[in-house]
Amino acid sequence: MNSSVSDSQLGRCSAGFSGVVTGFLSPSDIDGENRIDRLREMGFEEGLDVEILHHNPFGKDPIAVRIGSMTIALRRSEANLIEVSAA
C-alpha cells in the first residue's frame, strides 16, 4: 500500500468529491491486477481530475464518476481500488 495521509480511496468519498487520481492499490493477486487494468482501460489514470457526479438513488452505490472527458458508472468496491487526493 502506498497511501499517504492525505490520500483516500475513491469508493469512500461522497457525491460532490473532486480531486486527482494519485494511484491504484497494489494488487495482491492476478485478479486484482486484472481489475486495475480494466479500470485503466475505462480511462482511469494517475494525474487525471476525478469527480463524483452522482450516486445511485437506492443506497448510494454505484457512483457515476467523471474522469477526464468521460463519465463512468462503477460500484464503490471497484472505486476503492483507486487512490485519490482531494483538490
CB of 50 to another protein, least distance (A): 14
CB of 86 to another protein, least distance (A): 21
In the bound state with another protein, the residue whose beta carbon lies nearer, of 70 and 87, is 70
Alpha carbon of 53 to those of 29, 71, 76: distances in Å? 31, 9, 13
CB of 58 to another protein, least distance (A): 4
In the bound state with another protein, the residue whose beta carbon lies nearer, of 21 and 84, is 21
Question: Do residues 78 and 3 lie in contact, with contact meaning Cβ atoms separated by under 8 Å?
Answer: no
